[in-house]
Amino acid sequence: MLPDTVCRTVHQYTSELVSDEDMAKLQEIARDYSQVKNHVYVRFGGVGGLSKIYPGYTVQNEMIESGLREQMGMPSVYFYLAIFDALGEIRSQWTRTKAAVLKRTGENDSLTEEEKHYLRYLLKVNNAFDAVLNHRKVSLRPDLQKQYEKLAGCIDVKKANNYLRRQVRRIHVKPHTDGGGGFSLAERAYRYGNHGIYITVKEKRKRIFLPLTDSNQYTRQIYLKLYPEKRSVEIKVPVDVKVRTHKDYTKRVGMAAGMYTMFSTDEGHVYGEKLGEYQTELAGWVRSQAMKHGADHEEAGRKKYTDKKRRKTQQLHNYINMELNRLLRTERPEVIYIPKLPRPQKHGGDKAINNSVNMWQRGYIRRRLEQKCREQSVRIVEVFGKGISRECSWCGAYGYKKEGIFRCTSCGCQMQEKWNTARNAKKRGEEADLVLAPEQCLTGEGIL
Ligand SMILES: [Zn+2]
């Protein structure tokens, strides 16, 4: 059951430095925005707010009546969006809390099966959950009420209810935002034009103009992220992309990621071979610039540097995306097995890259791979990564690695280290898939 569309985030950037005055105005909105959110969190984020957050009109009405908006002089377009935003966060916080309680309930040996049934029911039916937590009598739709009473009939309700309240007290926290870093804008709060964007601010009938590096225009809710120290603004636009499915994508591909070569596959194919070169070059450039302009606080110089760095990063990203596209097109995978990533290492490896670990675009590559796979309906499976590069993919014995080559002392095989790892990834992935198979049996869809 794949969704028809997936969300992709498009980024836009300001093409000129934002004036202090404009930045201050934007920061003011961001501050107000998070203040409203925190207000909603405090008032409705706890147990007492449960009955009001679905569908949320009550929250909106109470917030309007509070007079907060007038007090802050906030444009209503931001005020409503902040409430909406906060409501969404409160709901997901409850989802997380319920999932955690559910897990604890399942693991608790001192609860009987009947008590567990009862508790699961409370966690599933929001009105019952709300009533129990707020010490009210549970009263539901007739059919649900009947189910509830049947479950409650065979247990110590008081004990189970206390258990639920205790767990929620322990686990649930009201959300909070330190915010101020940005805010969302509904379509009514902005307008594209003149190679930039006009943003509604507090002053009536005034808009701030931000010139952008591209002239794309969107008509949906966007997010503005502020970088006051860099005097720039980033716009994040979520766009829906249609999911494509490929009948001819049938291969199971094991992959290993690297610092120099982006990905190697179990068949020994490589993608993003120039990644290391690009990154070393970029890291070197950043370092040389830092030395040259260490004390350069002059505006023109800084802007030039920021622009050039962005262009260079963009070039690197273009290369990464191009190679990821080539990978999917060439390999035609149905599923990709990939080791869970280890934490970045502090020692070892190439100094030119490690000196600026953040230059290694690992996170970016991973996000792009995941996004592209979602868009093409390719499954990614993370396999257990421990010892995966030291194990011989032919005989299973431990070998050793040197200068990118893996050598097995047991069977004598020698191969590219990443190739060996990718082969192991495929092996581990397929084994894990086999372990999962019996579960499919239970649903009657298995082959066994
Ligand atoms: Zn071997």
Query: What is the distance in A from the centroid of ligand 1 to the CA of 338?
Result: 21
Q: pLDDT digits over 335-384, tens only?
A: 999 998 655 555 555 554 444 445 568 888 998 999 999 999 999 999 98
Structure tokens at 58: 């009550």
If you search the block for the tokens 């319920």, which residue do you land on?
98
Confirm whether 42 is domain-assigned.
Answer: no
Q: pLDDT digits over 281-300, tens only?
A: 888 888 888 777 655 556 67
Query: What is the distance in A from the centroid of ligand 1 to the CA of 414?
Result: 8
Confirm whether 406 is domain-assigned.
Answer: yes
Q: Domains in the chain: how many in total?
A: 1
Distance CA 125, CA 127 (A): 6
Query: What is the distance in A from the centroid of ligand 1 to the CA of 431?
Result: 19
Query: What's the pLDDT score for residue 265?
Result: 97
Query: What is the distance in A from the centroid of ligand 1 to the CA of 423?
Result: 12
CATH number at residue 280: 3.30.420
Query: What is the distance in A from the centroid of ligand 1 to the CA of 14?
Result: 55
Q: pLDDT digits over 201-254, tens only?
A: 888 888 999 999 999 999 989 999 999 998 999 999 998 888 899 999 999 999
CB neighbour burial string for 308-323, b if at least 16 within 10 angstroms, e if fewer: eeeeeeeebeebbbeb
Query: What is the distance in A from the centroid of ligand 1 to the CA of 393?
Result: 7
Query: What is the distance in A from the centroid of ligand 1 to the CA of 396?
Result: 6
Which residues lie below 8 Å from residue 13, measured CB to CB, with a gap of 6+? 212, 213, 232, 233, 234, 235, 310
Confirm whether 98 is domain-assigned.
Answer: no
Query: What is the distance in A from the centroid of ligand 1 to the CA of 255?
Result: 19
Confirm whether 272 is domain-assigned.
Answer: yes
Nearest to 287 by CA among 361, 352, 360: 352
User: What pLDDT band is residue 178 in, cutting at 50, 70 and 90?
Assistant: confident
φ, ψ for residue 118, nearest 5 deg: -60, -45
Query: What is the distance in A from the centroid of ligand 1 to the CA of 300?
Result: 59
Confirm whether 386 is domain-assigned.
Answer: yes
Query: What is the distance in A from the centroid of ligand 1 to the CA of 331?
Result: 26
Query: What is the distance in A from the centroid of ligand 1 to the CA of 397?
Result: 5
Q: Which amino acid is at 435?
A: V
User: For 97-106, 165-174, 390-399, 435-444, which range has the lowest pLDDT when averaged over its residues?
Assistant: 435-444
Query: What is the distance in A from the centroid of ligand 1 to the CA of 257?
Result: 22
Query: What is the distance in A from the centroid of ligand 1 to the CA of 260?
Result: 25
Query: What is the distance in A from the centroid of ligand 1 to the CA of 405?
Result: 13
Query: What is the distance in A from the centroid of ligand 1 to the CA of 422?
Result: 15
Query: What is the distance in A from the centroid of ligand 1 to the CA of 398?
Result: 7
Q: Which domain holds residue 327?
A: 244-442
Query: What is the distance in A from the centroid of ligand 1 to the CA of 410?
Result: 5
Query: What is the distance in A from the centroid of ligand 1 to the CA of 132?
Result: 60
Query: What is the distance in A from the centroid of ligand 1 to the CA of 395?
Result: 4
Query: What is the distance in A from the centroid of ligand 1 to the CA of 415?
Result: 10
Query: What is the distance in A from the centroid of ligand 1 to the CA of 399?
Result: 7
User: What pLDDT band is residue 28 in, cutting at 50, 70 and 90?
Assistant: very high
Confirm whether 348 is domain-assigned.
Answer: yes
pLDDT, mean of residues 406-431: 94
For residue 174, how many other CB atoms are within 10 A of its CB? Answer: 17
Query: What is the distance in A from the centroid of ligand 1 to the CA of 408?
Result: 5
Query: What is the distance in A from the centroid of ligand 1 to the CA of 2?
Result: 40
Query: What is the distance in A from the centroid of ligand 1 to the CA of 210?
Result: 60
Percentage of the chain exceeding pLDDT 70: 90
Which residues lie below 8 Å from residue 42, measured CB to CB, with a gap of 6+? 174
Q: Which long-range contacts (CB under 8 A, 24 or more apart) does 374-377 make?
A: 374/6, 374/243, 375/6, 375/8, 375/241, 375/243, 375/244, 376/243, 376/244, 376/245, 376/246, 376/249, 376/328, 377/2, 377/243, 377/244, 377/245, 377/246, 377/249
Confirm whether 73 is domain-assigned.
Answer: no
Query: What is the distance in A from the centroid of ligand 1 to the CA of 394?
Result: 5
CB neighbour burial string for 404-424, b if at least 16 within 10 angstroms, e if fewer: eebebeeeebebbbbbbbbbb
State the average pLDDT for the chain: 87
The yes-or-no verdict on residue 310 having pLDDT over 50 is yes
Confirm whether 358 is domain-assigned.
Answer: yes
Query: What is the distance in A from the centroid of ligand 1 to the CA of 424?
Result: 12
Query: What's the pLDDT score for residue 350?
Result: 52
